[in-house]
Amino acid sequence: KNQVEQSPQSLIILEGKNCTLQCNYTVSPFSNLRWYKQDTGRGPVSLTIMTFSENTKSNGRYTATLDADTKQSSLHITASQLSDSASYICVVSASGYSSASKIIFGSGTRLSIRP
Amino acid sequence: DSGVTQTPKHLITATGQRVTLRCSPRSGDLSVYWYQQSLDQGLQFLIQYYNGEERAKGNILERFSAQQFPDLHSELNLSSLELGDSALYFCASSVTRLAKAGEQFFGPGTRLTVL
Protein backbone atom coordinates (compact mmCIF):
# COMPACT_ATOMS: atom_id res chain seq x y z
CA LYS A 1 0.00 0.00 0.00
CA ASN A 2 1.32 3.42 -0.95
CA GLN A 3 1.90 5.47 2.18
CA VAL A 4 3.69 8.61 3.28
CA GLU A 5 4.49 9.03 6.95
CA GLN A 6 5.84 12.20 8.50
CA SER A 7 7.50 12.83 11.82
CA PRO A 8 7.29 14.45 14.20
CA GLN A 9 3.59 15.21 14.17
CA SER A 10 4.31 18.56 15.77
CA LEU A 11 7.40 20.50 16.75
CA ILE A 12 8.07 23.66 18.74
CA ILE A 13 11.41 25.44 18.48
CA LEU A 14 12.81 28.84 19.36
CA GLU A 15 13.29 31.49 16.74
CA GLY A 16 16.71 31.30 15.17
CA LYS A 17 17.15 27.58 15.78
CA ASN A 18 17.41 24.91 13.10
CA CYS A 19 15.12 21.92 12.73
CA THR A 20 14.68 18.83 10.56
CA LEU A 21 11.42 17.23 9.51
CA GLN A 22 11.24 13.65 8.34
CA CYS A 23 9.25 11.88 5.63
CA ASN A 24 9.23 8.12 5.02
CA TYR A 25 7.39 6.70 2.06
CA THR A 26 6.47 3.36 0.57
CA VAL A 27 5.15 4.71 -2.73
CA SER A 28 6.21 2.57 -5.64
CA PRO A 29 7.26 3.01 -8.32
CA PHE A 30 8.61 6.34 -7.17
CA SER A 31 8.40 9.37 -9.43
CA ASN A 32 9.10 12.43 -7.33
CA LEU A 33 8.69 13.98 -3.92
CA ARG A 34 7.69 17.51 -2.98
CA TRP A 35 7.57 19.44 0.24
CA TYR A 36 4.74 21.92 0.71
CA LYS A 37 4.32 24.64 3.31
CA GLN A 38 0.76 25.24 4.43
CA ASP A 39 -0.08 28.22 6.59
CA THR A 40 -3.14 27.76 8.79
CA GLY A 41 -6.30 28.02 6.72
CA ARG A 42 -4.40 28.61 3.48
CA GLY A 43 -3.61 26.46 0.48
CA PRO A 44 -0.31 24.54 0.34
CA VAL A 45 2.60 26.23 -1.38
CA SER A 46 5.39 24.24 -2.97
CA LEU A 47 8.88 24.49 -1.45
CA THR A 48 10.92 21.91 -3.35
CA ILE A 49 10.52 18.99 -5.74
CA MET A 50 12.97 16.13 -6.00
CA THR A 51 13.24 13.34 -8.52
CA PHE A 52 14.90 9.95 -8.13
CA SER A 53 18.35 11.18 -9.12
CA GLU A 54 18.44 14.20 -6.83
CA ASN A 55 19.87 13.99 -3.33
CA THR A 56 19.61 17.58 -2.20
CA LYS A 57 17.58 20.61 -3.19
CA SER A 58 17.67 24.01 -1.55
CA ASN A 59 15.25 26.91 -1.52
CA GLY A 60 16.61 29.70 0.62
CA ARG A 61 16.67 28.52 4.22
CA TYR A 62 14.92 25.27 3.27
CA THR A 63 17.01 22.26 2.25
CA ALA A 64 15.42 18.96 1.28
CA THR A 65 17.29 15.68 1.04
CA LEU A 66 16.22 12.44 -0.55
CA ASP A 67 17.52 8.92 -0.03
CA ALA A 68 15.77 6.79 -2.64
CA ASP A 69 17.35 3.61 -1.29
CA THR A 70 15.89 3.96 2.18
CA LYS A 71 12.84 5.86 0.88
CA GLN A 72 13.38 8.74 3.24
CA SER A 73 13.36 12.47 2.81
CA SER A 74 14.07 15.28 5.20
CA LEU A 75 13.39 19.00 5.20
CA HIS A 76 15.93 21.08 7.08
CA ILE A 77 15.05 24.63 8.08
CA THR A 78 17.94 26.89 8.99
CA ALA A 79 17.78 29.93 11.26
CA SER A 80 14.04 29.62 11.77
CA GLN A 81 11.80 32.67 11.66
CA LEU A 82 8.37 33.28 13.14
CA SER A 83 6.93 33.12 9.63
CA ASP A 84 8.09 29.52 9.35
CA SER A 85 5.27 28.52 11.69
CA ALA A 86 3.11 26.33 9.48
CA SER A 87 2.38 22.74 8.54
CA TYR A 88 4.90 21.07 6.26
CA ILE A 89 3.51 18.39 3.99
CA CYS A 90 5.46 15.70 2.17
CA VAL A 91 3.86 14.55 -1.09
CA VAL A 92 5.03 11.59 -3.15
CA SER A 93 3.82 10.58 -6.58
CA ALA A 94 4.08 7.23 -8.31
CA SER A 95 5.61 7.03 -11.77
CA GLY A 96 4.25 5.57 -14.93
CA TYR A 97 0.73 6.08 -16.09
CA SER A 98 -0.37 8.38 -13.35
CA SER A 99 -3.40 10.22 -12.21
CA ALA A 100 -4.15 12.29 -9.18
CA SER A 101 -5.02 9.14 -7.27
CA LYS A 102 -1.31 8.25 -7.43
CA ILE A 103 -0.32 11.37 -5.50
CA ILE A 104 0.05 10.46 -1.84
CA PHE A 105 -0.03 13.18 0.80
CA GLY A 106 1.53 12.87 4.22
CA SER A 107 -0.48 14.19 7.16
CA GLY A 108 2.10 16.90 7.79
CA THR A 109 4.29 18.21 10.58
CA ARG A 110 2.97 21.23 12.44
CA LEU A 111 5.90 23.54 13.21
CA SER A 112 5.61 26.34 15.73
CA ILE A 113 8.36 28.93 16.11
CA ARG A 114 8.48 30.70 19.46
CA PRO A 115 10.14 34.13 19.91
CA ASP B 1 -0.86 34.02 -5.27
CA SER B 2 -1.09 30.68 -7.08
CA GLY B 3 -3.47 31.95 -9.76
CA VAL B 4 -6.16 29.50 -8.66
CA THR B 5 -9.29 31.15 -7.32
CA GLN B 6 -11.99 29.64 -5.15
CA THR B 7 -15.32 31.00 -4.05
CA PRO B 8 -16.78 31.45 -1.59
CA LYS B 9 -14.05 31.78 1.00
CA HIS B 10 -16.38 30.82 3.83
CA LEU B 11 -19.70 28.98 3.80
CA ILE B 12 -21.95 28.22 6.74
CA THR B 13 -24.98 26.03 6.25
CA ALA B 14 -27.19 23.53 8.02
CA THR B 15 -27.31 19.76 7.94
CA GLY B 16 -29.26 18.33 5.04
CA GLN B 17 -28.56 21.29 2.80
CA ARG B 18 -26.74 21.43 -0.53
CA VAL B 19 -23.89 23.76 -1.45
CA THR B 20 -21.75 24.44 -4.48
CA LEU B 21 -18.09 25.36 -4.34
CA ARG B 22 -16.46 27.01 -7.32
CA CYS B 23 -12.91 26.90 -8.62
CA SER B 24 -11.18 28.71 -11.46
CA PRO B 25 -7.85 27.15 -12.45
CA ARG B 26 -4.71 29.01 -13.46
CA SER B 27 -4.79 30.35 -16.97
CA GLY B 28 -3.79 27.54 -19.32
CA ASP B 29 -4.25 24.72 -16.80
CA LEU B 30 -6.53 21.95 -18.03
CA SER B 31 -6.69 19.76 -14.91
CA VAL B 32 -8.61 20.58 -11.77
CA TYR B 33 -8.43 18.60 -8.55
CA TRP B 34 -10.56 18.77 -5.44
CA TYR B 35 -9.29 17.96 -1.97
CA GLN B 36 -10.91 17.85 1.45
CA GLN B 37 -9.00 18.73 4.60
CA SER B 38 -10.78 18.13 7.88
CA LEU B 39 -9.57 19.74 11.09
CA ASP B 40 -5.97 18.73 11.82
CA GLN B 41 -6.12 16.11 9.07
CA GLY B 42 -4.12 15.65 5.90
CA LEU B 43 -5.39 16.46 2.44
CA GLN B 44 -7.74 13.84 1.03
CA PHE B 45 -8.04 13.63 -2.75
CA LEU B 46 -11.65 13.72 -3.93
CA ILE B 47 -11.76 13.94 -7.70
CA GLN B 48 -9.87 15.17 -10.77
CA TYR B 49 -11.13 16.58 -14.05
CA TYR B 50 -9.14 17.12 -17.20
CA ASN B 51 -10.47 19.30 -19.99
CA GLY B 52 -14.05 18.68 -18.97
CA GLU B 53 -13.85 14.96 -18.35
CA GLU B 54 -13.55 13.06 -15.09
CA ARG B 55 -10.01 11.72 -14.83
CA ALA B 56 -9.65 10.12 -11.43
CA LYS B 57 -11.69 9.52 -8.33
CA GLY B 58 -10.49 9.37 -4.78
CA ASN B 59 -12.41 9.12 -1.55
CA ILE B 60 -15.40 11.05 -2.76
CA LEU B 61 -18.76 10.33 -1.18
CA GLU B 62 -21.78 9.59 -3.35
CA ARG B 63 -23.41 12.72 -1.87
CA PHE B 64 -20.66 14.75 -3.54
CA SER B 65 -20.30 15.41 -7.23
CA ALA B 66 -18.25 17.67 -9.43
CA GLN B 67 -18.01 18.88 -12.99
CA GLN B 68 -15.70 20.94 -15.15
CA PHE B 69 -17.21 23.35 -17.61
CA PRO B 70 -16.06 24.31 -21.13
CA ASP B 71 -14.33 27.41 -19.75
CA LEU B 72 -12.43 24.98 -17.45
CA HIS B 73 -13.80 26.25 -14.18
CA SER B 74 -15.05 23.54 -11.87
CA GLU B 75 -17.77 23.17 -9.30
CA LEU B 76 -17.96 20.76 -6.40
CA ASN B 77 -21.49 20.00 -5.25
CA LEU B 78 -22.06 18.73 -1.74
CA SER B 79 -25.55 17.52 -0.85
CA SER B 80 -27.36 16.13 2.19
CA LEU B 81 -24.68 17.78 4.26
CA GLU B 82 -23.64 16.25 7.56
CA LEU B 83 -21.72 17.72 10.47
CA GLY B 84 -18.70 15.67 9.44
CA ASP B 85 -18.55 17.43 6.09
CA SER B 86 -17.26 20.54 7.82
CA ALA B 87 -13.78 21.04 6.41
CA LEU B 88 -11.55 23.08 4.17
CA TYR B 89 -12.06 22.24 0.51
CA PHE B 90 -9.13 22.98 -1.76
CA CYS B 91 -8.99 23.13 -5.49
CA ALA B 92 -5.72 22.68 -7.35
CA SER B 93 -4.86 22.92 -11.01
CA SER B 94 -2.13 21.72 -13.32
CA VAL B 95 -1.34 21.97 -16.99
CA THR B 96 -1.35 18.29 -17.78
CA ARG B 97 -3.64 15.41 -16.92
CA LEU B 98 -0.73 13.60 -15.32
CA ALA B 99 -0.25 15.52 -12.12
CA LYS B 100 3.04 14.61 -10.60
CA ALA B 101 3.80 15.97 -7.20
CA GLY B 102 4.70 19.59 -7.56
CA GLU B 103 2.89 20.40 -10.73
CA GLN B 104 -0.25 21.26 -8.81
CA PHE B 105 -1.05 24.80 -7.73
CA PHE B 106 -3.51 25.15 -4.88
CA GLY B 107 -6.21 27.70 -4.37
CA PRO B 108 -6.88 29.46 -1.05
CA GLY B 109 -9.65 27.04 -0.11
CA THR B 110 -13.29 27.25 0.93
CA ARG B 111 -14.05 26.73 4.60
CA LEU B 112 -17.35 24.89 4.95
CA THR B 113 -19.07 24.81 8.31
CA VAL B 114 -22.14 22.61 8.71
CA LEU B 115 -24.25 23.41 11.77
β-sheet bridge partners, residue A74: A22, A65
| Mutate: best of B10, B93, B97, B100, partner A, most A CBs <10 A | B100
β-sheet bridge partners, residue A5: A24
pLDDT of residue B101: 54
Closest B-chain CA to A110? B40
Of the candidates B47, B68, B71, B49, which has an alpha carbon nearest to the alpha carbon of residue B59?
B47
* Cβ neighbours, 10 Å, residue B73: 15
Closest in B97, B101, B104 to A33, CB measured: B101
On whether the CB atoms of residues A24 and A48 are closer than 8 A, the answer is no
For chain B, say whether A99 makes contact (Cβ under 8 Å). Answer: yes
Q: What is the pLDDT of residues A41-91, one digit of tens each?
A: 889 998 988 888 889 999 999 999 999 999 999 999 999 999 999 999 999
Mean pLDDT, rounded, of chain A: 90
For chain A, say whether B24 makes contact (Cβ under 8 Å). Answer: no
pLDDT of residue B36: 95
Confidence class for position A102, pLDDT limits 50, 70, 90: confident
Collect all residues of chain B within an 8 Å Cβ-Cβ radius of residue A54: none
What average pLDDT does this structure show over A10-31? 94
Element (H, E) at A73: strand A72-77
Query: What would you measure as the largest C-alpha separation in chain B, in angstroms?
Result: 38
Indicate if the pLDDT at residue A1 is higher than 80. no
Q: What is the pLDDT of residues B58-102, one digit of tens each?
A: 889 999 999 999 999 999 999 999 999 999 999 999 886 665 555
Indicate if the pLDDT at residue A104 is higher than 90. no
Element (H, E) at B37: strand B31-37
